[in-house]
Amino acid sequence: MSEWDLGKLAEKFEHVLSQLEQARRFNKQRYQAATLEAAARLLPLEGGVELLFEHAARYDRAGLFVDTAWDNPETLLPGLVRTSLESGDRVTVTIELLSELRLLALARGLHCHAGVPGEQARHFLTQVLALNLDYLLAGPAESSRVRLGNSAPAVDRVFRLLLAGIDFADILGSLVTEIQRMLAQRPIQVDSIKSMITQIAVARARGDDASESAGAEADLLVRALFGPSSSCADDPGLDVFEQRLAALEPDGLLAEARQFAEHMHGVGLVSDYHAQFLRWALASGREELLADALGLSSTGIDVLRCYQQLVHRLVGRAVHPQTAQCVYSLAMMLESGVLYAPPIAPALWRQIDLPLSPHCETLLTFAFGNAVPATDRLLAGALAILGQPLGIGQGNNPTCQSARAISMWAYNDPDYLLYLIQQAARFDEVVMHFEGTPISSAGVAATDLRQLPLDTDPVSVLLVPHLDKIYHHMGQLCADRGDDPHRWVNPEFHGWWVGRSFNLAVDLESGQLTAYRDFISRFYRSYHPYYNGNQPIIHPQPAGLAITDSNGAFVGWHAITLIRVALDQEGAMRVYFFNPNNDSGQNWGGGVQVSTDGHGERHGESSLPFAELVSRLYLFHAEAENSQAGSEPERGEVTEVMQMAVGSWASSRVQGVPAENEEKEN
């Protein structure tokens, strides 16, 4: 196409963009389609992507993304970009590519968007490029090219512009750091991390440049996934690997087992070869290798010996190359000693041979494919939750209550969680009670599978729809009581251990801060060891945060779990909590940077200094006697907390300033 044709299409785009800019919000949709169509014609052309990039700020402000899934860039997930690009839908591909150009403009300081500073936009694009390096290195695989169809040239041009804006060596170094940061949280879902490491492996094989330190760390990640032991160091494939194992002497097999365990515990990832090694060891009568292959301490070894038959069955049914990550969870479960609790072993025996309902079978197959039987997939998911209660994330599901509940039960009441899994998997129904009234989730099985949250772990895929329905029903039953429904719902939904003293920082009707100084003091008297008589948190407690972005602006209400309060290595008192997001390391503005590693956190925990956590707190439960009996905190510290809150999420919630309209806690 000639420059003259490009010019005509550019004029057309300018015209429809101007119409979109002038349209009122309720009428934006009418002009969005025309703008997207004009953009779609420009994207494949030489110079078209650059022209659209120059207009990124304009079409973003004009409302091109209004009422679409791309409207709030701070909520976008890098792992979903590929799905959009390979959807086969021209409009979806176009809007995704325009969104990446918008983020590039933010990353380069050419555009501003509330909630997305340039550093965050750059970080997002680094992950997007890492997850889609095959588009740039050797072109997408044949299956991907088929799905891209006529969109392939547009995708190629946009990705090359992104790469020009973010140097590859920088991508590799940032990517390695990002993967290490994510793995330090020990997430259950690691598919996106494995995809990124796969792309790193391709790039390293091509000899792409990287700093010496980044290259060494990248190679360690690649080795942990594709060659953690001597017999699979060259990534020979599972069949060849098994042949090599059969030829090894006992000392060689022991060395293999220990190499697998070293990489698993050191990095946090489990190789497919590791899963195959465990299966081979059991099938060939080498059960004595399990303890070393799992990297167990004396505690884990004792549990393994007590429950040897059960563990062997769990490995035989749950551990497959496709479910390899559950090997780490199994090791953690044995180390925790949870099997010593009388109900757990029989509940797991029940889970091993649990008959699934047709709906459950279809749901799990739809979400995860049929390479592994649905029963085994669910069993692996149950092991993942039990071994890593703080590794669960809510995926792209917009609710956080159910993810928090699953984590809390796995942490504090695992036999109850196994009971709920059994009920949902076998009978397509979960029944819970609210103040003596049974509440059923019956009917969830009739929901279109495409409308269910499928981007989470197997247990969440199964349970979250049931739990969401019950939780919302509980809220409806107490909606007219004149107070926040969480006062009654949280103890009934989560468990008897939830403190009955309910504390809320804002007035329910006006949204204004109410008795805020007393609210802060009650939290100190309830949870700070210096003011509550050095009483630890016995059971995890639900709490609600006012989440803010990196500028300190209010984003929304969010459910977390308070786990413990303790001094860190530097003597600072910190609150350690569970955040059911897939990534808990977040910048909440005003110097409030959530830590996930390096300040005494155990895997899966987030932490903040005590005052900083309280500055974002708006709801908590406690034992009534604790908040009454504790001593008053220092007035200066309470004032500091108030200033941090009023300087961020509560800026419009002080007396005399109208409150904005926000949705309730997710």
Find, among 649, 588, 585, the residue nearest to 117 by Cα: 588
CB neighbour list of residue 166: distance below 8 Å, 6 or more residues apart: 107, 122, 125, 126, 129
181: pLDDT confidence band, cut at 50, 70 and 90? confident
Find, among 253, 250, 252, 274, the residue nearest to 262 by Cα: 274
Q: What is the pLDDT of residue 142?
A: 39
- Contact between residue 113 and residue 119 where contact means Cβ atoms under 8 Å apart: no
CB neighbour list of residue 543: distance below 8 Å, 6 or more residues apart: 559, 560, 561, 562, 577, 617, 619, 620, 621
Q: What is the pLDDT of residue 662?
A: 38
Return the percentage of the chain with pLDDT > 90, whole number.
66
- Contact between residue 494 and residue 542 where contact means Cβ atoms under 8 Å apart: yes
E strand or H helix at 416, and its extent? Answer: helix 414-427
CA distance 345 to 361: 24
216: pLDDT confidence band, cut at 50, 70 and 90? confident
3-state secondary structure of 563: strand
Q: What is the pLDDT of residues 158-178, one digit of tens each?
A: 988 887 787 666 677 777 887
Tell me, yes or no, if the pTM score tops 0.75. Answer: yes
100: pLDDT confidence band, cut at 50, 70 and 90? very high
**Amino acid letter for position 588:** W
Query: What average pLDDT does range 486-512 have in this prediction?
Result: 93
- Contact between residue 179 and residue 193 where contact means Cβ atoms under 8 Å apart: yes
Q: What is the pLDDT of residues 332-363, one digit of tens each?
A: 999 999 999 999 999 999 999 999 999 999 99
- Contact between residue 475 and residue 410 where contact means Cβ atoms under 8 Å apart: no
**Residue corresponding to tokens 């805020």:** 516
Supply the DSSP symbol for 506.
Answer: B
581: pLDDT confidence band, cut at 50, 70 and 90? confident
CA distance 469 to 168: 45
Q: What is the pLDDT of residue 446?
A: 85
Q: What is the pLDDT of residue 654?
A: 86
3-state secondary structure of 262: helix
CA distance 351 to 61: 52
Cα 31 to Cα 61, 170, 267: the distances in Å are: 14, 39, 50
Pick from 216-225, 320-329, 342-351: least confident: 216-225
CA distance 483 to 153: 56
Q: What is the pLDDT of residue 664?
A: 42
Find, among 261, 251, 229, the residue nearest to 242 by Cα: 229
E strand or H helix at 619, and its extent? Answer: strand 617-622
635: pLDDT confidence band, cut at 50, 70 and 90? very high
CA distance 238 to 252: 18
- Contact between residue 618 and residue 504 where contact means Cβ atoms under 8 Å apart: yes
DSSP assignment of 127-145: HHHHHTTHHHHT---HHHH
**Residue corresponding to tokens 């600072």:** 572
Query: What average pLDDT does range 353-374 have in this prediction?
Result: 96
**Amino acid letter for position 657:** V
Q: Does 582 have pLDDT greater than 90?
A: no
Q: Does 258 have pLDDT greater than 70?
A: yes
CA distance 149 to 285: 51
Q: Within 10 Å of residue 475's Cβ, how many Cβ atoms?
A: 18
CB neighbour list of residue 625: distance below 8 Å, 6 or more residues apart: none
Higher-confidence residue of 28 and 565: namely 565
CA-angle at 370, arms to 367 and 372, nearest 5°: 105
The tokens describing 32, both together, are 């969005």
- Contact between residue 317 and residue 352 where contact means Cβ atoms under 8 Å apart: yes
